[in-house]
Amino acid sequence: MKILVTGNNGYIGTVLVEELFKKNYEVIGYDIDYFYDCNLTNKNNKLTKQIKKDIRNITENDLDGIDIVIHLAGLANDPLGELDPKLTDEINYQSTIKIAELSKIKKVKRFIYASSQSMYGVSDLQEELDEEDSKKNPVTAYAKTKWEAEKKIKNLDNDDFTVVMFRPSTVFGASPRLRCDIVYNSLVACAYTTGKIEILSDGSPWRPVIHVKDLCKAFISGIEAPKELVSGQSFNVGIKNGNFTVKNLAEAAQSVVTGSELVFLNQHTDPRTYKVSFKKILTTLKDYFKPDWSLDRGGHELVSFFKDINFSENDFRNEKVNRLKKLESLIQKKKINNKLEWIL
């Protein structure tokens, strides 16, 4: 079976390709390669083929012979999405619709979409949010594009074309293309490199989290589960008891980096806070999705990873582990233009 992974050279995509290889899938990569030099290790995946191309420019020919598409490519989080909301719509919404429609034309069997829980935005914390009945309250351009794209591509699902939409919790865990601009990775990296855990907020916002390898299991379940379980469905991706306050996450980081100090900066006013229900994925896909990474295990994995690569405070502050800083640097160096296109 031949699988096209868009965004294969990102934080999640790099790990997903490894997991697909373990299951003997043939993988084609599709990536614009903004983060080509952000690999912190010497590990590189040996793909059947790598397409270096802007997702906005995908054509039918790029989908020749493809059985499954896993669509990760896009501006990857809320701060990055605010860089230019119009561009975010172009890359995250319009391009998603384009690749989904082309996939259907090319008779791709399944289209698996990496959506986001950011669409829940600011919510009533009295209850955990479910996929269908809970109100969507996206407060950023990124979140809005994810919700709008879901609604649109769901309508493409039919007997011959299966659309599956996964809404990941905030991801953590080691990856060759590590990100430290996401909460738990940032907290552990800060503790490891500085001895302090800097918390921008007061620690009260709620964030569900998921280990990157468990998220990859979810995507693979979208390939392997029977059509009747996944067709046209959205799934929150997380673990049992997987909702934490930022303070909880900081304390977990402190427990894996002995002697680190908690510092509340109270500078950040991110309004997003939400608790999410994972009942649907943990019951409907129980035979196909079996997460097994805890915060503690993932935290210790990060510490071991940092030791292996001699990760320093300079590395932690570096653009290589911060996606917004990296894109801003590429623009400043005139390697890409303001439309995020490579300058030849």
Q: Is the sign of the CA dihedral 338, 11, 16, 198 positive or negative? A: negative
Is residue 340 situated within a structural domain? no
Is residue 337 situated within a structural domain? no
Is residue 339 situated within a structural domain? no
Range of the domain at 242: 2-332
Cα 325 from chain centroid (whole Å)? 17
Counting the structural domains of the chain, the total is 1
Is residue 97 situated within a structural domain? yes
Lowest pLDDT segment from 141-155, 197-211, 240-254, 326-340: 197-211
Task: Kindly report the CATH number assigned to the domain that includes residue 196.
Answer: 3.40.50.720
- Residue identified by tokens 């900081």 is 250
Is residue 344 situated within a structural domain? no
Upper half-sphere CA count for residue 220 (Cβ side, 13 Å): 26
pLDDT tens by residue, 38-78: 999 987 777 999 999 999 999 999 999 999 999 999 987 66
> CB under 8 Å, gap of 24 or more: what pairs does 336-342 form?
336/34, 338/84, 339/87, 340/34, 340/87, 340/91, 341/54, 342/32, 342/54
Q: Is the pTM above the cut of 0.85?
A: yes
pLDDT band at 270 (very low <50, low <70, confident <90, very high): low
The rounded distance, in Å, linking the Cα atoms of 221 and 16 is 12
Give the residue from 334, 329, 307 showing the smallest Cα distance to 319. 329
pLDDT of residue 202: 83
Whether 119 contacts 138, CB under 8 Å: yes
- Burial level of 294, CB count in 10 A (0-12/13-18/19+)? middle
Is residue 341 situated within a structural domain? no
Average pLDDT, the chain: 94
Residue percentage of the chain with pLDDT more than 90: 85
pLDDT tens by residue, 100-141: 999 999 999 999 999 999 999 877 677 899 999 999 989 889
pLDDT tens by residue, 142-167: 999 999 999 999 999 999 999 999 99
Is residue 205 situated within a structural domain? yes
Amino acid letter at 335? K
Is residue 342 situated within a structural domain? no
pLDDT tens by residue, 79-108: 665 668 899 999 999 999 999 999 999 999
Question: In the structure encoding, which two tokens stand for residue 222, read together?
Answer: 């979208």
- The stretch 206-232 carries a mean pLDDT of 97
